[in-house]
Structure 1
Amino acid sequence: MARLPRLNLPNIPQHIVQRGNNRQVTFVEADDYVVYLEKLKYYAKEYEVKVHAFVLMTNHIHLLATPTTSNGVSKLIQSLGRYYVRYFNQTYKRTGTLWEGRFKSTLVDSDNYFLIVSRYIELNPVRAGMVAHPAEYTWSSYQHNGAGKVIELITEHDLYTQLGTRPEQRQAQYRSLFERDIPRYTLEEIKTATDKMWVLGNDKFKQQVEEVSGRRVSPLPKGGDRKSGAFLKSKEKNQRL
């Protein structure tokens, strides 16, 4: 089956995931994280991509970012990936690829999912059992969004700034979001939409994206064959015509 073209629309946030090839380690020392974030800031500015949230895990990364052009995210990830592979290979005296061939991404319905995806990203170290709370993890945007440490890389999204009129208010309101768990079905919804490169949003948002992109934005109903209820209902209707 031919893979669908990547959904790249300007001014719509994307959840982006890039993993180490065969889940291999991509960050070893603290300097590696620093280099990656410095270059992420550089290429985000060059390609006009606003980064709202991130986490750097030992063998993969998550970003929540809004491109201002249709190909901004792709250019950012490609340029950053090439630079970091050269740095990593030179530093650790290795050769060959570092990242999986194709990064994963999904368009995010801001009104319904933006703050949830931001939490999903920053809670990765907690779900991995590395820390008990996201504030304990250094390489995450929670340090900016929740703990008040200014990270120049971060561009605060409108939905974040609406949490309060002052930085301290926004940070407190944002921290309060972490007092309740993200439902398991929502975790799966985010993961599946990103891995399969569908759209993460409600039906109205999906329909709008489909109309603009001309591309299917969600999977076909399971059992979309002669056993599915939808097929049988359609068949009955056609037989009556």
Structure 2
Amino acid sequence: MPRTARIVLPDYPHHVVQRGHNKQVVFPETSDFEHYLADLQELKAVFDVKVYAFCLMTNHVHLLLAPGDSAAGLGQLMKGLAGRMTRHRNKLEGRSGTLWESRYKSSVVQTDIYLLACSRYIELNPVRAQMVQRAQDYPWSSLHLRLNEFPKNNWLDESPGFSELGTNLAERITHYASFMEQGVPSSELQLIRGALQRGQLTGSPKFTDEIEEITGLRITQRARGRPAK
């Protein structure tokens, strides 16, 4: 059966997940997490891709990315990240071969009502995995950057949804922290997971119509539901 064509659009956010080959651990050491994040910070500028959220788990990564004028930047970024990390681990272990699954999963995300929901889903991964009790205690997600009141040290891009949470940074941080404390409703969890697994859009039927018009593709399966407010 042929692969489903991946939909990648310039200037739209995309929820991306890449897993280790055969679910193997890709970040066995603290230095591995640091290495990947340094590469992400560097390559996002090289390929003109905004990073709205991320969470590095032991055997996979969640990223919320928005390519600029060229949709190809997303694939180039993911290829660069995967290649650098593979070479890094292979050198340390004195081995060769693949580190990641051959194909990452991605879903275009509707900006106005789903973007913040997707950010929350990503940053709460360590809590759902029972690795920490509070999301802010996990060091390898974007949350500690998002809640940073000193933007000079923050390389995370501010998403449109986050910008609308308040008139200044302090207000936005307070409102987002409250939003995180609400957790992810089960319906929202299923919607985001289903869209990603099937390569669908994370959005409303109206959003699906919009993307069909842009791409000229018929997207027959639609994830139903709406993020909780």
TM-score of the pair, normalised by structure 2: 0.92
Instruction: State the partner residue of 2:156.
Output: 154
Instruction: State the partner residue of 2:23.
Output: 23
Instruction: State the partner residue of 2:5.
Output: 5
Equivalent residue letter for 2:176: Y
Query: CA deviation digits over 1:144-183, x for unaligned, max 9?
Result: 2235465543110122122122222111110000221321
Q: Is the 8 A contact 1:198 1:218 kept in 2?
A: no
Instruction: State the partner residue of 2:181.
Output: 179
* Matched length: 221
Task: Give the 3 Å change call, closer, same or farther, for CA 5–78 of structure 1 in structure 2.
Answer: same
Q: Secondary structure at the match of 1:54?
A: strand
Q: Is the 8 A contact 1:135 1:147 kept in 2?
A: no
Distance 1:132 1:218 in 2: 39
Structure 1 counterpart of 2:200, from 198, 201, 205 = 198
TM-fit CA distance, 1:135: 0.6
Distance 2:136 2:72 in 1: 33
Q: Secondary structure at the match of 1:129?
A: coil
Equivalent runs, 1:73-88 vs 2, <5 Å: 73-88=74-89
Q: Which moved more, 1:65-74 or 1:121-130?
A: 65-74
TM-fit CA distance, 1:220: 7.9
Instruction: State the partner residue of 2:140.
Output: 139
Distance 2:15 2:189 in 1: 13
TM-fit CA distance, 1:215: 2.1
Instruction: State the partner residue of 1:228.
Output: none
Instruction: State the partner residue of 2:37.
Output: 37
Q: Unmatched 5+ residue regions in structure 1?
A: 222-241
Distance 1:200 1:12 in 2: 11
TM-fit CA distance, 1:202: 0.5
Distance 2:17 2:219 in 1: 18
Distance 2:31 2:104 in 1: 23
Q: Is the 8 A contact 1:7 1:107 kept in 2?
A: yes
Equivalent runs, 1:117-128 vs 2, <5 Å: 117-128=118-129
TM-fit CA distance, 1:210: 1.0
Equivalent runs, 1:27-66 vs 2, <5 Å: 27-66=27-66
Instruction: State the partner residue of 1:107.
Output: 108
Distance 2:24 2:169 in 1: 38
Q: Larger Cα Rg: Structure 1 or Structure 2?
A: 1
Distance 1:167 1:152 in 2: 12
Task: Give the 3 Å change call, closer, same or farther, for CA 96–135 of structure 1 in structure 2.
Answer: same
Percent identical across equivalent pairs?
40
Distance 1:114 1:10 in 2: 16
Q: Is the 8 A contact 2:200 2:222 kept in 1?
A: no
TM-fit CA distance, 1:218: 4.3
Distance 1:218 1:136 in 2: 40
Q: Is the 8 A contact 2:148 2:154 kept in 1?
A: no
Distance 1:21 1:117 in 2: 24
Distance 2:134 2:176 in 1: 14
Instruction: State the partner residue of 2:90.
Output: 89
Distance 2:63 2:162 in 1: 16
Equivalent residue letter for 1:215: L
